[in-house]
Amino acid sequence: MCGITGWIDWTRDLTQDSISLIKMTETLALRGPDASGTWISSHCALGHRRLSVIDPENGAQPMIRRSGDDTYVVVYNGELYNALELRKELEDRGRTFTTHCDTEVLLVAYMEWGKACVERFNGIFAFAIWDVTEQEMFLARDRLGVKPLFISFADGLFIFGSEPKAILAHPAVKAEVGAEGLAEIFIIGPARTPGQGVYKDITELLPGQCMTVTRSGVRKTKYWSLETIPHEEDVEATAEHVRELLKDTTERQLVSDVPVGTLLSGGLDSSALTALAVSYYEQTGQGNVNTYSVDYRDNDKHFKAHAFQPNSDAPWIERMVSHLDTIHHPIQFDTPELVGALRDATLARDLPGMADVDASLLLFCREIKKGATVAISGEAADEIFGGYPWFHREEALSANTFPWSLASSMRADLLAPDVASWIKPIDYINDRYAQAIAEVPHLDGESETVRKMRKMSYLNITRFMPTLLDRKDRMSMAAGLEVRVPFCDHRLVQYVWNIPWEIKTAGDREKGILRRALRGVLPEDVLTRKKSPYPKTHNPNYLAAVKGLVLDILNDPSSPLLPLINVSKIRELAESDSAKSNIPWFGQLMSGPQLFAYLYQVNTWLKEYGVSVK
């Protein structure tokens, strides 16, 4: 994985502005700690930071290839999991290669098939290719949006970057937010509406979208989206199909020239991927798999089961480590470390995020990086297979809003009255929800129940899953760690999308079809374990610490957050016992303590980035 950036300006000679390109590229140094490269011409500048995973000795970027009189230059962030098949097909068509890296495969695929190349890729990617002869840039993002690609049209310039920080480093772009940006932060956040960059001049290329930039303008094209078709296989055939797809994509994603590990929580998803990795390592003679888990000091003393987190992970991790004979690395953090990482997590996202859920993942990835460069994660299984509690609760199914964000009125009440009047938070979230629902592709004749479950699945795949993928990308790449997500293989997502709900819940269980697919892969007790999300701290010291941070903000007249919030209400909340509530403020994990941590992150973001509200 890497960081990419660059810009096009048709009005001036960019070879005189290499300093700006270097500054933009260096903002992405954490994403690519192994190498840096730039390429600049009259109207196009490209920058790249590299994390070496495949063919470390070669594959430097920007990569240049020539064919006759034509020259092509690429900057690329991602991995192609079908690179070997593509390479063979291209060689059969007369193409030659000088490296073993997938960057060259991607570039040669574009030279052979043009813009249609993206339809052949199986992987996670964001890239930009400059055609020197045609004076045209082609950009694309993977189907599920695992890899980010932000864009900006500022003062006639076209600018792009893996993260907003790269675009903000260009002198033409300012850190400004308007009503929409504030609404994203205060009523949608830490989620983000697809395509929304929050900053005024920054948007995002959508998952499954590509674009062409020429002198005459910009053209975007959707090359992939979920297709709704009848599902004709029975339960057993469906389970077999899921198992084969999951096995294939996991084995593809274990290929690497650098050390690989798996994230192991003892839950269904991470245990499945770890078991498949162990089986693959045994077949290929690669030895024992390294596994990594995260927990918090004294969580065993303070953990209290509730609907969203029914049990702790520790005993289940031990169960799987013993069963699979992995080389396990338990990692533990204490409250001061978690609080201290809130700022770093904000800088990694360029926005306030999932508070300590982000911060702990950043710390976790830094520790994993000491022993591995690539990690396999079970992200996205719950969105795809219907594992979250809101898939199974009528009040959430009928809420007529995003089910992970049911506290909209409470959140709106925390805004300063004039800000609330300006951004109209409830209208904003209602409009965004209506926009999402209007996109859902239904089959003719679907029953009301089927339509309801398809709608819930679509919301999770296109609105909630990107939040977690953003988190995984930014926190892992800020540690120079590549995290791969096999459940986001587009073939698997497309197939499971059309599985009827009664088959998805086979055995009258959440993710029932996945459990059935994993029979013989996992022990029975792990197969039947109730879902438990990514662990968070239950230490009361954390709540006290983040409340203290917020009270410090409230007591500092210079805090940039103050004009945007209802200070008296937040002070009242910070001084009340309701802050201990386990009712989620956002998603499954963000309740009272995370609300305070989020407000701290908003203030940190406003201050560190010098954000202007206009």
Q: State CA 504 to chain mean position distance.
A: 24
User: Peptide bond preceding 190: is omega within 30 degrees of 0, i.e. cis?
Assistant: yes
Residue 508 contacts by C-beta under 8 Å, 6 or more apart in sequence? Answer: none
* Cα distance between residue 141 and residue 472, in whole Å: 17
3-class SS at 573? helix
- Stated as kind and residue range, the H or E segment containing 209 is strand 209-214
Q: How far is CA 416 from CA 302, 346, 413, 564, 592, in A?
A: 35, 23, 8, 5, 20
Specify the residue for token string 């969203």: 308
Structure tokens at 220: 């975007």
Task: Give the bridge partners for 126, in sequence order.
Answer: 77, 141
Check: CB of residue 199 under 8 Å from CB of residue 159.
no
Identify whether 2 is a catalytic site residue.
yes
Structure tokens at 239: 């389970």
At residue 225's C-alpha, the angle toward residues 221 and 227, to 5°, is: 135
- The DSSP line for 332-378 is EE-HHHHHHHHHHHHHHHTS--STHHHHHHHHHHHHHHTT-SEEE--
> Within 10 Å of residue 389's Cβ, how many Cβ atoms?
18
Task: Give the bridge partners for 565, in sequence order.
Answer: 415
Structure tokens at 382: 């719950």
3-class SS at 602? helix
- The DSSP line for 469-516 is HHHHHHHHHTTT-EEE-GGG-HHHHHHHHTS-HHHHTTTTSTTHHHHH
* Cα distance between residue 162 and residue 3, in whole Å: 6
Task: Give the bridge partners for 7, in sequence order.
Answer: 45, 159
How far apart, in Å, do the first and last CA atoms of the chain sit?
35
Among the options 2, 44, 210, 488, which is catalytic?
A: 2
Q: In what order do the strands lie in the sheet with 136-141?
A: 63-67, 70-80, 123-131, 136-141, 209-214, 217-222
Active site members: 2
